[in-house]
Amino acid sequence: MRCPPTVAIAHAPVARPRALVALLFLGTLLAAAPASAQVMRCTDARTGKVTYTDAACDSGAQSREVQPRQSPEELARERAQSQEAAQRMRERLAAEQAAAQEREALEAARQEREARRAPSTTDYAASPACASARRALEAVAGRSSATLEDSARLDAAQRQMELSCLGPEGYARAEAARAQRPQVVVVPQPVWPVRPRPPHRPDRQERPYIKECTSFTCTDSNGKRYPRTGRGSFEER
């Protein structure tokens, strides 16, 4: 099997960048070449140009073996070592990735806890929503009576005002305090219908009746006397 196209590198002892390029190319060649291939370093005697090949150098060039041909046992051993090294590299990368994800999760949880403990900078009491909720509560309180429906409407307006003016955290504390208070149920008194009284008629004269009687006369409620000859025509009391 042939190596990649031969690259010539001028031999210049004082030019260190070129030497570095040659070394890098040599490493690439050794890595890309088959494990069983032999790598030769060829130096032109006239120009000093250096080439690398897996075949014999040209005539007149100085040759030096860079990588000897390996036996099948050496190839199997190097292949196993390479696989083990690749597996260790994969395991190390996986462990580093898992550790990084765990650190990110812990940092996110810490920031969330700090955000919860930090006091809120929002002034809910000065917000337009709080002012609107206060006006709604005052309107409901002005129209409410002792009925259960009005009591429920007033309680809902009170809770909305607390949420708008205290914020979510303050509202949660208010709800917790409200749950600890004893519940008082107010039963409204029944309202009985009032029947209207009949109108008073002062011009209507009351029917006279017998008020008292003697042995000879009877006197009615108007003071009129009647001879007593028997039961009169007026009502007797």
Residues 124-160 have pLDDT tens digits of 888 999 999 999 989 888 887 767 788 888 889 989 9
Looking at 127-136, 204-213, 214-223, 226-235, which range is the least confident one?
226-235
Backbone angles phi, psi at 37, to 5 degrees: -75, 150
Contact 18, 7 (CB under 8 A): no
Contact 77, 84 (CB under 8 A): no
| Per-residue confidence (pLDDT) for residue 187, from 0 to 100 | 65
| Per-residue confidence (pLDDT) for residue 83, from 0 to 100 | 93
Separation CA 23–CA 11 (nearest Å) = 12
Alpha-carbon torsion angle 129, 132, 138, 143, nearest 10: -120
- For the chain, the domains span 9-70, 73-118, 124-180, 209-237
Mean pLDDT is highest, among 5-9, 81-85, 169-173, for 81-85
Q: Cα angle at 171 between 165 and 174, to 5 degrees?
A: 115
Band of the pLDDT at 186, cuts 50, 70, 90? low
